């Protein structure tokens, strides 16, 4: 089973749509009782989604106990340059009503990618988890290429052509911050572990994934890019999967007494 560890502002909703269109009713946007999804959350999902092929969500973490349910999960994630990811995250919060100042935001979200992967602000702990669990790591800066690599790694026939999701209507705040040297210096100061993690992935893990693919990679990336943006297709299978997600899985998951039944 594929398990997407969704780090904030790394094209996660676009990846989720690819999983949805690839597996239809065998994909679950995993919901959890707590901050981190547990084996109990996955067991409940399997009751609603027998034959589950993929899960995704912010609560899917490498350091949880999801593997206790059955065969080991095939984890994958996407990372992003820590500076641009931080700025996009701050802009997203403002767009959605957050009144936090930039300094308050940095205090809450320093080393966000490292903490999301490892549960702690320790780049080495995150790197060890990525290596021990053989996690596939895509780079948002090389998104289309990463998707082609992901499909080969997964062993699944993924429906890769996509339409980008959750795009900001305006990037003015992001542009201002990226042009402010003092702001950039503060971001780097607060993301030392993220910078170390990202450098390792960029320089060690990602080149290793490239090497395993072979010489036909460029042609397959070009084929994907020629199919972008993907047309919007409303199939019966997608409508049925949406109905199951919105009318069955989500409502029942919000009712713990029903889950325990």
**Could you report the per-residue pLDDT of 131-172, keeping only the tens digit for each?**
999 999 999 999 999 999 999 999 999 999 999 987 877 889
Burial class (CB in 10 A: 0-12, 13-18, 19+), 241: buried
Query: Could you tell me if 217 and 149 are in contact, meaning their C-beta atoms sit under 8 angstroms apart?
Result: yes
What is the per-residue pLDDT across 200-239, written as a single tens digit (0 to 9) for each?
999 999 999 999 998 999 999 999 999 999 988 789 999 9
Query: Could you tell me if 173 and 100 are in contact, meaning their C-beta atoms sit under 8 angstroms apart?
Result: no
- Assigned token pair, 58: 């912010």
Q: DSSP letters along 185-228, please?
A: HHHHHHTHHHHHHHHHIIIIIHHHHHHHH-TTHHHHHHHHHHTP
Percent of the chain with pLDDT over 70: 98
Mean predicted lDDT score pLDDT of the chain = 95
- pLDDT, residue 258, reads 54
Query: Could you tell me if 13 and 166 are in contact, meaning their C-beta atoms sit under 8 angstroms apart?
Result: yes
What is the per-residue pLDDT across 66-103, written as a single tens digit (0 to 9) for each?
999 987 899 999 999 999 999 999 999 999 999 999 99
- pLDDT, residue 259, reads 60
Classified as helix, coil or strand, 49 is: coil
Place of tokens 């289309």: 144
Query: Could you tell me if 160 and 147 are in contact, meaning their C-beta atoms sit under 8 angstroms apart?
Result: yes
What is the per-residue pLDDT across 2-29, written as a single tens digit (0 to 9) for each?
999 999 999 999 999 999 999 999 999 9
Please give the Cα distance from 38 to 212 (Å, whole number). Answer: 32
Is the pLDDT at 260 greater than 80? The verdict is no
Give Cα separations from 20 to 25, 141, 156, 240 (angstroms). Answer: 8, 23, 13, 12
Please give the Cα distance from 254 to 233 (Å, whole number). Answer: 30
pTM for the model: 0.95
- pLDDT, residue 79, reads 98
Phi, psi of 63 (to 5 degrees): -95, 10
Query: Could you tell me if 1 and 51 are in contact, meaning their C-beta atoms sit under 8 angstroms apart?
Result: no
Is the pLDDT at 261 greater than 60? The verdict is no
Please give the Cα distance from 131 to 38 (Å, whole number). Answer: 21
Q: DSSP letters along 148-197, please?
A: HHHHHHHTS---------S--S--HHHHHHHT-HHHHHHHHHHTHHHHHH
The β-bridge partners of 137 are 77
């Amino acid at each position: 089973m594929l398990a997407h560890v969704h780090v904030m502002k790394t094209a996660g909703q676009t990846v989720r749509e690819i999983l949805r269109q690839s597996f239809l009713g065998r994909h679950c946007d995993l919901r959890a009782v707590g901050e981190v999804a547990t084996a109990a959350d996955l067991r409940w999902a399997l009751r609603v989604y027998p034959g589950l092929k993929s899960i995704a969500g912010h609560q899917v973490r490498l350091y949880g106990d999801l593997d206790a349910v059955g065969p080991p999960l095939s984890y994958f994630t996407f990372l992003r340059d820590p500076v641009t990811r931080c700025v996009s995250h701050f802009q997203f919060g403002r767009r959605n009503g957050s009144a936090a100042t930039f300094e308050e935001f940095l205090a809450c979200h320093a080393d966000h990618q490292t903490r999301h992967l490892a549960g702690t602000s320790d780049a080495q702990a995150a790197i060890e988890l990525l290596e021990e669990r053989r996690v596939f790591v895509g780079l948002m800066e090389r998104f289309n290429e990463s998707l082609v690599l992901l499909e080969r790694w997964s062993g699944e026939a993924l429906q890769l052509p996509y339409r980008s999701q959750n795009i900001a209507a305006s990037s003015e705040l992001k542009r201002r911050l990226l042009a402010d040297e003092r702001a950039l210096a503060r971001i780097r100061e607060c993301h030392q572990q993220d910078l170390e993690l990202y450098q390792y992935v960029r320089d060690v893990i990602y080149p290793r994934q490239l090497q395993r693919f072979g010489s036909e990679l460029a042609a397959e990336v070009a084929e994907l890019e020629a199919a972008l943006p993907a047309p919007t297709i409303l199939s019966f299978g997608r409508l049925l999967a949406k109905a199951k997600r919105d009318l069955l899985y989500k409502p029942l998951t919000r009712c713990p007494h029903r889950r325990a039944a």
